[in-house]
């Protein structure tokens, strides 16, 4: 042993960082060189981005650590890659308290916006430990693992920045909830489906414009929902019951709705829809999509025609939250594991009752109150908030025989 191989400041760990063009056998070659001296692996991370590999390995340092360093450098040179070997004293890479998943979604997601979000994270005193792409088409979704600041405080710091930049952002605690069985409770009109069923019914009665105006005011919270609903329903008096078939056939689901339900059902999620609309439509939607629970208003029909009245109590803002809690209890899911999705003022109590409330292309009052907002026109973007990547979705769909459009090159 030479004096160079042993000094008073011997490191206890070595951080080896290798980067360059990816190819089969790179990781194996590096670990072969490490195994020759019997060192222990403390931590390891590897990413491949557009064919470029970055491999970081934290190992315990042997007594002759400089020889190990030289061996690793020779391996890197033989592979045509760059390498750095840093000395350390113990594993200082332990992630700090206050861990969060931060999901940033943009269409597009500009470098300026991402820089601003990263800067705000640094300003808050938090650290970005890891970055992972969740989707690149038709939107860009990036997930950051952040530590050092409580999720609630981090959300309060980042939300105004995201809003001013025109990107969607969600901050969620890094805990086991993501990996457990969860319940998704969705609004229907302008959330699960495009448009409002009551306006589609009113079009057959010749009152579409009048009903649309009342609906808009109710969704903004300017009118009492029950009173506005009864006033709109009264305009439907006399319509033949067959109108339900015509309206149902004309319904268009939100883009990505089937993908969202199909993917999460594979993972054991449960689904419910709660609507201020009508059971004559929502029950059929639930059956079509494989949704487990459904609650909505029922339009009265006598002698094959609508009477312009509702049967029973109205499913309003408070009733939606009650339904969420009842569904969760019935399915054995804790309220903290419930995800609620809605767009209007009558969804506010439901969003507040859930562990994660998502405002989907929602009115301003809803976006301001919800835990997070998604404003891209794809309902399956919510998958990225749950740590599920587009690549995983497409792989599962391909295995099951579904086809998905190819992304642009």
The answer to whether 198 and 277 are in contact (CB under 8 A) is yes
Nearest alpha-carbon partner for 67 in 37, 28, 96: 37
Six token digits for residue 307: 């009477």
Instruction: Please give the radius of gyration of the chain, using alpha carbons only, rounded to the nearest integer.
Output: 27
CA 283/CA 258 separation, integer angstroms: 16
CA torsion, ordered 382, 384, 387, 392, to nearest 10 deg: 110
Q: Which residues pair with 146 in a beta bridge?
A: 100, 128
Given the structure tokens 């391996």, which residue do they identify?
75
Q: Which residues pair with 56 in a beta bridge?
A: 17, 45
In 72-122, beta strands by DSSP E: 82-88, 100-106
In 89-237, beta strands by DSSP E: 100-106, 127-135, 140-147, 168-173, 183-186
Given the structure tokens 């079009």, which residue do they identify?
203
Among residues 187, 316, 343, 347, which one is catalytic? 187
Active site residue 187: yes
Among residues 22, 189, 316, 380, which one is catalytic? 189
Six token digits for residue 313: 């109590």
Q: Which residues contact 161 (CB under 8 A, 6 or more apart)?
A: 116, 117, 120, 169
The string of DSSP codes covering 269-303 is: -EEEEEEEEEHHHHHHHHHHHT-SEEEEEEEEEET
Six token digits for residue 388: 């599920």
Six token digits for residue 99: 């861990």
Six token digits for residue 356: 């994660």
Active site residues: 187, 189
């Amino acid at each position: 042993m030479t004096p160079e191989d042993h000094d008073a400041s011997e490191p206890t760990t070595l951080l080896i960082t290798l980067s360059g063009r990816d190819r089969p056998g790179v990781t194996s070659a590096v670990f072969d060189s490490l195994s020759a001296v019997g060192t222990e692996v403390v931590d390891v991370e590897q990413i491949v981005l557009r064919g470029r590999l970055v491999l970081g390995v934290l190992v315990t340092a042997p007594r002759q650590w400089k020889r190990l360093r030289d061996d690793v450098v020779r391996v890197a040179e033989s592979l045509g890659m760059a390498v750095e070997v840093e000395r350390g004293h113990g594993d200082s890479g332990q992630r700090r308290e206050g861990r969060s998943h931060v999901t940033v979604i943009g269409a597009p997601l500009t470098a300026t916006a991402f820089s601003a979000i990263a800067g705000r994270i640094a300003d808050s005193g938090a650290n970005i430990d890891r970055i992972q792409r969740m989707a690149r088409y038709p939107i860009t979704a990036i997930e950051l693992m952040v530590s050092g600041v409580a999720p609630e405080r981090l959300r309060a710091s980042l939300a105004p920045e995201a809003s001013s930049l025109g990107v969607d952002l969600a901050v969620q605690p890094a805990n086991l909830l993501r990996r457990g069985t969860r319940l998704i409770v969705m609004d229907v009109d302008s959330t699960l489906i495009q448009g409002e069923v009551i306006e589609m019914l009113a079009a057959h009665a010749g009152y579409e414009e009048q009903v649309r105006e009342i609906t808009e005011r109710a969704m903004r919270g300017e009118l009492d929902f029950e009173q506005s609903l009864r006033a709109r329903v009264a305009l439907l008096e006399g319509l033949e019951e067959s109108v339900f078939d015509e309206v149902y056939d004309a319904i268009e689901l939100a883009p990505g709705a089937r993908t969202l339900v199909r993917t999460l059902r594979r993972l054991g999620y449960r689904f419910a829809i709660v609507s201020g609309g009508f059971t004559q439509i929502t029950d059929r939607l639930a059956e079509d999509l494989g949704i487990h629970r459904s609650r909505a208003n029922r339009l009265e029909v006598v002698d094959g025609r609508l009477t312009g009245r509702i049967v029973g109590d109205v499913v309003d803002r408070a009733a939606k939250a009650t339904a969420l809690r009842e569904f969760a209890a019935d399915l054995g899911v804790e309220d903290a594991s419930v995800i609620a999705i809605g767009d209007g003022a009558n969804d506010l109590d439901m969003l507040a009752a859930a562990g994660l409330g998502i405002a989907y292309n929602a009115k301003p009052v809803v976006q301001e109150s919800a835990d997070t907002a998604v404003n891209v026109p794809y309902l399956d973007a919510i998958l990225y908030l749950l740590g599920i990547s587009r690549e995983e979705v497409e792989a599962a769909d391909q295995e099951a025989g579904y086809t998905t459009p190819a992304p642009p090159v």
